[in-house]
Amino acid sequence: MLKRFLKTTKGKVTAICSGVALVAVVAAVAVMLILNNNKYRSISVADVKGIVNIIGQKNNGQAYKGQRLFDGDDVSVMEDSELTLCLNNDKYVYADENTHFKLEAASSKQGNKLKIVLDKGSELNVLTAKLGDGDTYQVDTPNSTMSVRGTRFRMTVYTGDDGYTYTLLEVQSGIVLAQLKTLTGEYNGVEKEFFAGQSALIRGGDDFSEFVLSEEQEEVWFLDYNSLPSEAVPRLIELLKEGEELEAAAKEAEEKAVTDTDEKDKNQVAEKDTDKDADKDNDADKDADKDSKDKDSKDKDAKDSKDSKDKDAKDSKDSKDNKDSKDNKDNKETSDNTPQTVNNDSNNNNTTNNDNGNNNQQTAHTHTWVEVIDKQATCGEDGSKHQECSSCGEKQASVSIPATGNHSWTEVIDKAATCAASGTKHEECSVCHAKQKENTQIAATGNHSWTEVIDKEATCVATGTKHQECSVCHEKKASETIPATGKHSYSWVTVKDSTCSAEGSKIYTCSGCGDTTDKDVIPKKEHNFEWIPDPDSTCTSIGMRYHRCTKCGYTDDQVSIGYKEHNYVDKYYDMDDPGGGSGKIRHHWNECTECGTVEPYSEHDEPIS
């Protein structure tokens, strides 16, 4: 039973997960002991295959093994490529092809904050040790944020056929907290924890984010390893096996830490011995200095006594004594300087010993050379690479990578073959665009694209005809008969159209054979009336108007339209003043221009000056 299970996909992955989990714990403990809770945030490229582009403040180009990454770096894993990142020595990110994400990393006394902003593709997260107090590890997608504790989980982001953004979470171990948000970044308050063996599918848009329910109408889906794509299983197993490398790395780091400690102890002992020797030398210098001073004092007393006795020969003696005094002075200075020289030598010995101790510490460093590709060699162009120490960053001289000469040939169709005509093709290198096998013939397929063409429609009593015709070369097959349908196709046919003064008629007739089954009346149409004045009104007579149909002349609804208004104008004449005065008087009135009627109360007189 167990053997059969281990041969299955789930069995293989489960067995490796169990083994790697143990290795990961051992490695994580060793690394933690060596690092002694080192809070330095480091992100580096552990492995890279194919083309991975990194853009940021310090990085701008293709990724290489051993490269350091920083907060804000934008990472694009291209097609047929893979990337493995090591974060803070105990977290690993395995990014598949066609994946894009951005790094957000920060360190403080409160803890380390790490966020992977994933908007496309798929990546596997492996945390080999528990997060420290205040530490956070998050994977942010367009429609959710995953907050984790020590765990192993996979994230995939893609756009569905419905245009919405989907996030697939697959938890292999540990716990992941999913918090939902819209594409605009607004959290909706929905969150849920997922445990080992569980998965979730999240669908989101600009104004919503939700869990896609399983067939059992549950938010939790159970992770089915057998449902993984066949090409994904070897990749998953390979990634899990890489946990074994952690153990080797931890052992190497532990041995190096022990070696450094032993070397440091040896240097400290050597320094103490050197200090003791220096103290002895200093004591000897002091004794020599004392003897020299005593000798100078005796020489001086002897000189004074001699000068007193030989006073008569002062002139010649003074010259001699001056010379002797000068010689004694020189001897004294030489004697005085001798201990200082010894002391300086002692100090020099001290310095030399200290330098030797430092040199011993420096020589304890062993370069760990890794190969860094500066420029990939292609089929027709040389590349370059260099060796770089992954610890101190020292580089060796760059060397050339010879052109591979291996073209990546792809088939290019110049002219597609059809059913009746041949086509052409050639092979072209996708890297340098070299061509070969040009104008290679592609045989005609002979596979016509037949479509049905109706030559004559069949009716209820009459047969029709049709044929098959190729839509490419228009070759035709023999004509075929379409049987009579036997079904009448009735519709109303107008015999006489109706008017506003007379009804019309229609018959229910078959369009195929002319058979009729029913008759019916078409109702009269509505009159199209307009108002006609008859006669028109004036200011002295009332006018009339009536409705008249513009189609048949039928009249209706005669009504009065009343009088028109008078059109008054001012009129006048001049006359003598009826009161006997010498002036003139002008008489005014308003009179209608149409009928001559005088407007009441309009007559009045006014004097003319």
Higher pLDDT, 122 or 266: 122
Residue range 474-532, pLDDT digits in tens: 999 999 999 998 898 899 999 899 998 889 999 999 988 888 889 999 999 888 888 88
The closest alpha carbon to 328, from 361, 313, 306, belongs to 306
What's residue 240's pLDDT? Answer: 47
The answer to which of 266-275, 355-364, 503-512, 523-532 has the lowest mean pLDDT is: 355-364
- 289: pLDDT strictly greater than 60: no
Give the Cα separation of 205 and 189 in Å (integer). Answer: 16
What's residue 214's pLDDT? Answer: 82
- 291: pLDDT strictly greater than 70: no
pLDDT band at 470 (very low <50, low <70, confident <90, very high): very high
What's residue 397's pLDDT? Answer: 92
Residue 153 contacts residue 174 (beta carbons within 8 Å): yes
Cα 175 to chain centroid, rounded: 26
pLDDT band at 452 (very low <50, low <70, confident <90, very high): very high
- 206: pLDDT strictly greater than 50: yes
> Both tokens of residue 522?
């078409």
- 453: pLDDT strictly greater than 90: yes
Higher pLDDT, 319 or 370: 370
What's residue 83's pLDDT? Answer: 95
Residue 416 contacts residue 423 (beta carbons within 8 Å): yes
Residue range 426-450, pLDDT digits in tens: 999 988 889 999 999 999 988 999 9
Give the Cα separation of 235 and 576 in Å (integer). Answer: 130
Give the Cα separation of 71 and 342 in Å (integer). Answer: 57
Higher pLDDT, 130 or 395: 395
- 218: pLDDT strictly greater than 70: yes
What's residue 196's pLDDT? Answer: 86
Average pLDDT estimate for 81-101: 91
Average pLDDT, the chain: 76
Average pLDDT estimate for 209-233: 67
What's residue 205's pLDDT? Answer: 93
Higher pLDDT, 74 or 232: 74
Higher pLDDT, 177 or 360: 177
What's residue 146's pLDDT? Answer: 79
What's residue 3's pLDDT? Answer: 38
Burial 399-416 (b: 16+ CB within 10 A, else e): eebeebeebebeeeeeee
The verdict on pTM exceeding 0.85 is no
pLDDT band at 363 (very low <50, low <70, confident <90, very high): low
Average pLDDT estimate for 162-189: 91
Higher pLDDT, 364 or 69: 69
Share of the chain above pLDDT 90, in %: 33
Cα 360 to chain centroid, rounded: 49
- 472: pLDDT strictly greater than 80: yes
What's residue 76's pLDDT? Answer: 95
In a 13 Å sphere around the CA of 445, the CA atoms on its Cβ side amount to 10
Measured CA distances, 483 to 144, 456, 461 (Å): 62, 11, 9
Average pLDDT estimate for 534-540: 80
What's residue 34's pLDDT? Answer: 33
Burial 258-270 (b: 16+ CB within 10 A, else e): eeeeeeeeebeee
- 281: pLDDT strictly greater than 90: no
Non-local (6+) Cβ contacts of 17 within 8 A are 152, 172, 173, 240
- 93: pLDDT strictly greater than 90: yes
Residue range 116-145, pLDDT digits in tens: 999 999 999 998 888 888 888 899 999 888
The answer to which of 78-92, 119-133, 315-329, 439-453 has the lowest mean pLDDT is: 315-329
pLDDT band at 392 (very low <50, low <70, confident <90, very high): confident
What's residue 149's pLDDT? Answer: 62
The answer to which of 104-118, 164-178, 360-374, 552-566 has the lowest mean pLDDT is: 360-374
Other CB atoms within a 10 A radius of the CB of residue 172 amount to 23
Average pLDDT estimate for 45-54: 94
pLDDT band at 272 (very low <50, low <70, confident <90, very high): low
pLDDT band at 451 (very low <50, low <70, confident <90, very high): very high
pLDDT band at 558 (very low <50, low <70, confident <90, very high): confident
What's residue 5's pLDDT? Answer: 36
